Copies of this chain bind each other. A is one copy, B any other.
Amino acid sequence: MADSEALSSLAGDPMAVEALLQAVFGIVVDEAIQKGTSASEKCHYSIQKGAAFLGLGTDSVRVVKADERGRMVPEDLERQISMAEAEGAVPFLVSATCGTTVLGAFDPLEAIADVCQRHGLWLHVDAAWGGSVLLSQTHRHLLDGIQRADSVAWNPHKLLAAGLQCSALLLQDTSNLLKRCHGSQASYLFQQDKFYDVELDTGDKVVQCGRRVDCLKLWLMWKAQGSQGLERRIDQAFALARYLVEEMKKREGFELVMEPEFVNVCFWFVPPSLRGKQDSPDYHKRLSTVAPVLKERMVKEGSMMIGYQPHGTRGNFFRVVVANPALTRADIDFLLNELERLGQDL
């Protein structure tokens, strides 16, 4: 990124709204022509929401196919762009994702950037969840190509565990685009006759008026932990996720949705009554009722909180996100033991 703008903004994912807005301002489009935005089918729902919010309408968002691991298929992106153009739409933004919410998938950015370059499209990368991986020398290859993005959304409040909310929008543009988009020059708030360089005042660049200095949390954390300390957090999260996966493989009753490439570990707990019944016709239907029951039990016991969800054609499965830097192997062991204990009669 040639320029970066720290925003204590619309918490995390609605950064997509910001990026959409930048793109709308940044690219000349004929207002009379249908506009188009492309995003992977596994992208965050904020893309649709952003389009609705900005008055573009959710129909202007075209969904691009993802592969079985949840990664955008660049060939389908190319196809969607051609189809949109053939229908008279004017595509202007592609939103790729680094670290999807459920599977933790990273879209192939180099290939997507090639497509964007060919068609002159704004490339936004929603790295809200996965962006922090850039701090790890070992794992940053997952984001190869992100340097070609026009805008990147990143939430230090996620994997880096900064306090909610701490979000950054990084822009390639160096022309003070945020000011040009959002500046309202309210003279009763943003005085120009100050004794210092008023370019330092960020108030007129952002969407909100009164707001917290959320970027301070990132700055303080970075000062306290150093780049190496933050890198250790990331590497440790990957290592603990790997530990969780390997421990699951040693136990009966845990079925991985897939080998994770990130710290999202998605799995089914297969209770005793369903083990060995994989071929029974109602297996998947019965399996999908397990997670809600276990979730209810853990909440009522107060022992854990693990999210679950259906996803595409897959029924309810648990998703453990190994992110808390205070987690240890003992916590992972507890988690597995507790799931077995809570589900032993199912």
Contact = CB atoms under 8 A, between A and B. Distances in A.
A21 B54 CA distance: 10
Nearest to A204: B45
Contact of A102 (B48, B102, B188, B193): B188
Interface stretch (A205-213, A242-250, A272-280): A205-213
A260 to B, nearest CB: 16
B191 A13 contact: no
A316 interface: yes
A226 interface: no
Contact of A309 (B44, B53, B191, B212): B191
A184 interface: yes
A79 to B, nearest CB: 25
A310 interface: yes
A184 B309 contact: no
Give how many copies assemble into the complex: 2
A313 interface: no
Contacts of A55: 54-56
A334 B97 CA distance: 55
Interface of A: 10-14, 17, 21, 44-46, 48-49, 53-56, 101-102, 155, 157-158, 164-165, 182, 184, 186-189, 191, 193-195, 207-212, 292, 295-296, 299, 308-311, 316
Given A49-B207, A102-B188, 9 more contacts: A14-B207, A49-B184, A53-B54, A54-B54, A155-B210, A157-B210, A165-B212, A187-B309, A193-B316
